Structure 1
Amino acid sequence: MFHSFFPKPKLFFLSFVVWALIGVLGWYLVMQNLGAQLSLGSLFGLTFPEALAEGADATAQAAFQDASKGAETFWLYQYLVICYGLFIGAWMLLGGQKWAKWSVAGSGLIIFTTWFSVQLNVILNQWYGSFYNLIQKALSAPNSITLNEYFDQLYFFLGIAAVSISVVVLKHFFVSHYVFRWRTAMTDYYSSKWQQVRHIEGASQRIQEDTMRFASIMEGLGVSFISSIMTLLAFLPVLWGLSSYITELPFIGEVPQALVFVALFWSIIGTALLALAGIKLPGLEFKNQKVEAAYRKELVYGEDYEDRAQPLTLNELFGNVRKNYFTLYFNYLYFNVVRYGYLQAGVLVPAIALGPSIVAGAITFGIFQQINNAFNQVENSFQFLVNSWTTIVELLSIYKRLKSFEATIDSTPLPSEDSVFS
């Protein structure tokens, strides 16, 4: 699954995690403060401004902040390009793998565009604050704002939304091609080993259908996972900063960084509950593929041989299918009770956490919208397993089936649940 597409997959993914950690720590500990010396932004008019004179007026302070923000943003992107370039360049040269162009450079592009999309969401979260504060001001004091101020906010939103939509659409288009190349690599590899795996039950299905399903699931699940990590990294500091407005939680009292605490605590509860409720589902999904394959294979044999696919045999095989499906339905019944109950209860969590601050009038409407959006972003990132559990279950069942191919190819013992097909 991975060796066919990625160069030295274990080392590749481990090195990416280590390099990403080094890059993040390097930025916050050292590189963030070296922009004035190392940034190339001056070539594009984005120079770090000189320090403001003491007693500068509001206009000068605003201009200083705008210039600093533009220069810092350029320096961050320059730093990212250097980090990405070094990592991708090293693996392209040393990986020596047929699909490295897609697996290495393509992975880098997907991660970068996902990060860029998340940054746009952070900008929109800041927009929520200014826009809804503007609305609160207009509603509390008629004619206190102009129509131009109101529409300027809407035009800003439209500009960010247009960029965001374009990036998302192009990213998904690229990801579709990326994942299909991955499927092609798997198909080529398994097909070249056909004589070693042809005796495994449902071998043709595993090469054709399972690689297709693996690719389609990874297309959605993989991007969602990367997006969750990026969103968490981007919005956790935002939520941390917004927690300064919330000094007290109902039923608990004062809690430092209350919003981060609530999001983390609630997400851990949900992940634990869903993992416990769905612990049997991967095995049942895998067994479902086995009994379906056995039933289908007997029917295929019946097309060519008169003594195959007899009614008694088919009844027995379909009985296995029916029994497994009914067990699966029962397990999904209580799993979905837990899942949907938890998700519905989660709608009230930020409202409950903000209760004392709302009653005390400690926050504005704009701050409320910022907190609510940032909390949802962080909570959804923490709840990746909760929201994707059924998809993960399906992926695990496919992984087990394809793993039996690799066990046969590598002349290692088949997984115990698949040994009956050897």
Structure 2
Amino acid sequence: MFVSFFPQPKLFFSSAAIWSLAAILFWFFGGQQLGAHLGFPPAAPAAPPILGVPMFWSPPFLWFYIYFAVMLAAFYLFWRFYAPHPWQNWSILVSAFILFSTYINVQIYVALNNWRGPFFDLFQKALTTPASVSAAELYSLFSIYALIGLMFISLFVVTRFVVSHYIFRWRTAMNEFYVQNWPRLRHIEGASQRVQEDTMRFSTTMESLGVAFADSLLTLIAFLPVLDTLSTHITELPLIGPIPHSLVIAALVWSIFGTVLLAVAGIKLPGMEFRNQRVEAAYRKELVYGEDDPNRATPLTLGELFQNVRRTYFRYYFHYAYFNIFRAGFGQADAIFSSVILIPTIAAGKITMGIWQQISTAFGQVSSSFQYLVTAWPTIVELISIYKRLRAFEATLQGEPLPDIDQRYLAGQGVKDTA
């Protein structure tokens, strides 16, 4: 699954994580200031944020682009010489591009949050004091919003185009790898489907989960300082009272609660999704045999196989039903949580409409990032089931025993055990 596309996957991913962490730490503990010596000074602490897209070509951002390129080049050149791989341009350079575009996308949301403060303060002033705000002032701020939106659309289109090719290249690498080893893999139940379909689903799902994880991490890096700064406007939290870093603590506690709640509620789903795939594969395989052999795919056999399909799916639907109860309930509570904890501050009249908008947006970004497992859990369930199917290939090629469920199939116990 990974060795076909990445050079020495275990070492590659561990080195990528260590190098990324080192680059991030150096950036925050000296790298940003280093840019000042090269003509790219950081923004002054008390300076107001740059509104709109000009922030993306301000000196701090230009220095970040250079810093990112240098770190990427060092990592790429190391692997280029240490362990050359036919797909490393895609697995390293294009992966880095996707991470970079994800970072820029997060910064677009930061730019939008910076815009909300002055716009909604001006909006509030226009409503409370007639004729105090001109239409030109409002149009001017709306034009800034439009340019931010145009940048978001452009980045989205380019990124999705690149990602589509990235996914297909990964699928191509897996397909070529498994086809080369087809004589050793063909005996595994559903081998054709695993090569044709599961490789596509695995690459697509891994990309979406990886980007979502990177987005959550980068969002925390970008918005946690914003949320901590906005915490100074909060007088107290309901039932708790005044505490330092109140919004950050509230977002962390709420997100941990939601993650644990849904992880426990959905703990059985990955195995059940895998069983669904197994009984489907057995049913489909018998139908394929019946196309060429009149003695196969008899009504009795097909009826028994479909009964297994029915039994596993109905059991899956039951477990997914109570999982959805918890997921929908938490989603509804999450939609109002940030507003509820702001009620004492709002009642005290301590914040303006612009600050309220900024707090709501920043809290939502941080909270959703902490809740990565909550939002990604259905996709993780699907990925685990795909991984279990492709794991039989990996075990065969590495000379390891097949997973238990595949061994039971080969032993002749068939799909009844999977139900």
- TM-score, normalised on structure 1? 0.91
Mapped partners of 2:65, 2:6: distance in 1: 26
Task: Give the conservation status (yes or no) of the 8 Å contact 1:131–1:153.
Answer: yes
Mapped partners of 2:85, 2:269: distance in 1: 36
The aligned residue for residue 73 of structure 2 is 85
The aligned residue for residue 114 of structure 2 is 126
Q: Could you list the runs of 4 or more consecutive aligned residues of structure 1 that deviate by over 4 angstroms after TM superposition?
A: 61-67
Letter of the 2:255 counterpart: S
The aligned residue for residue 54 of structure 1 is none
Task: Say yes or no: does 1:177 pair with 2:160.
Answer: no
SS of corresponding position for 1:136: helix
Q: Deviations over 1:305-347 (max 9, x none)?
A: 2222222222221111111011001000100001101101111
Mapped partners of 1:213, 1:161: distance in 2: 31
Mapped partners of 2:20, 2:345: distance in 1: 38
SS of corresponding position for 1:413: coil
Mapped partners of 1:181, 1:304: distance in 2: 34
The aligned residue for residue 34 of structure 2 is 34
The aligned residue for residue 302 of structure 2 is 314
Question: Which residue of the other structure, out of 227, 235, 254, is the alignment partner of 1:239?
Answer: 227
Q: Deviations over 1:102-144 (max 9, x none)?
A: 0011111110111011111101101001110111122222222
Letter of the 1:34 counterpart: L
1:35 positional shift: 2.2
The aligned residue for residue 211 of structure 2 is 223
The aligned residue for residue 149 of structure 1 is 137
The aligned residue for residue 416 of structure 2 is none
SS of corresponding position for 1:254: coil
Letter of the 1:13 counterpart: F
Letter of the 1:324 counterpart: T
Letter of the 1:26 counterpart: F
Task: Give the conservation status (yes or no) of the 8 Å contact 2:289–2:297.
Answer: yes
The aligned residue for residue 357 of structure 1 is 345
Mapped partners of 2:185, 2:267: distance in 1: 30
Mapped partners of 1:417, 1:367: distance in 2: 56
Mapped partners of 2:76, 2:229: distance in 1: 34
The aligned residue for residue 392 of structure 2 is 404
Q: Deviations over 1:212-231 (max 9, x none)?
A: 22233234333222212211
Task: Say yes or no: does 1:345 pair with 2:333.
Answer: yes
Task: Give the conservation status (yes or no) of the 8 Å contact 1:88–1:108.
Answer: no
Task: Give the conservation status (yes or no) of the 8 Å contact 2:189–2:406.
Answer: no
Cα RMSD between the aligned structures? 2.3
Unaligned runs of 5+ in 2: 411-419
The aligned residue for residue 324 of structure 1 is 312
Unaligned runs of 5+ in 1: 42-46, 52-57
The aligned residue for residue 301 of structure 1 is 289
Question: Which residue of the other structure, out of 196, 202, 209, is the alignment partner of 1:214?
Answer: 202
The aligned residue for residue 44 of structure 1 is none
1:147 positional shift: 2.1
Task: Give the conservation status (yes or no) of the 8 Å contact 1:288–1:321.
Answer: yes
1:365 positional shift: 0.3
Mapped partners of 2:225, 2:285: distance in 1: 55
Mapped partners of 1:358, 1:401: distance in 2: 53
Mapped partners of 2:392, 2:252: distance in 1: 37
Mapped partners of 2:399, 2:175: distance in 1: 19
Question: Which residue of the other structure, out of 361, 365, 371, is the alignment partner of 1:383?
Answer: 371
SS of corresponding position for 2:243: coil
1:48 positional shift: 7.8
1:276 positional shift: 0.7
The aligned residue for residue 25 of structure 1 is 25
SS of corresponding position for 2:58: helix
1:89 to 1:268, Cα distance in 2 relative to 1, 3 A: same
Task: Say yes or no: does 1:190 pair with 2:178.
Answer: yes
More divergent stretch after superposition (16-25 vs 27-36): 27-36
Task: Give the conservation status (yes or no) of the 8 Å contact 2:198–2:390.
Answer: yes
Mapped partners of 1:101, 1:19: distance in 2: 18
1:247 positional shift: 3.0
Letter of the 1:259 counterpart: L
1:76 positional shift: 2.5
1:89 positional shift: 2.7
Mapped partners of 1:291, 1:36: distance in 2: 62
1:402 positional shift: 0.4
Task: Give the conservation status (yes or no) of the 8 Å contact 1:91–1:104.
Answer: no
The aligned residue for residue 380 of structure 2 is 392
Mapped partners of 1:78, 1:311: distance in 2: 67
1:303 to 1:408, Cα distance in 2 relative to 1, 3 A: same
Mapped partners of 1:20, 1:237: distance in 2: 20
Mapped partners of 2:246, 2:406: distance in 1: 48
Q: Percent identity?
A: 52
SS of corresponding position for 2:125: helix
1:161 positional shift: 1.3
1:85 positional shift: 2.1
1:62 to 1:256, Cα distance in 2 relative to 1, 3 A: closer
Mapped partners of 2:242, 2:48: distance in 1: 35
Task: Give the conservation status (yes or no) of the 8 Å contact 2:49–2:114.
Answer: no
Task: Give the conservation status (yes or no) of the 8 Å contact 1:92–1:104.
Answer: no
How many residue pairs get aligned? The number is 406
Question: Which residue of the other structure, out of 171, 175, 188, is the alignment partner of 1:200?
Answer: 188
Q: Deviations over 1:381-415 (max 9, x none)?
A: 11121112111101110010001111011110111
SS of corresponding position for 2:132: coil
Mapped partners of 1:7, 1:398: distance in 2: 22
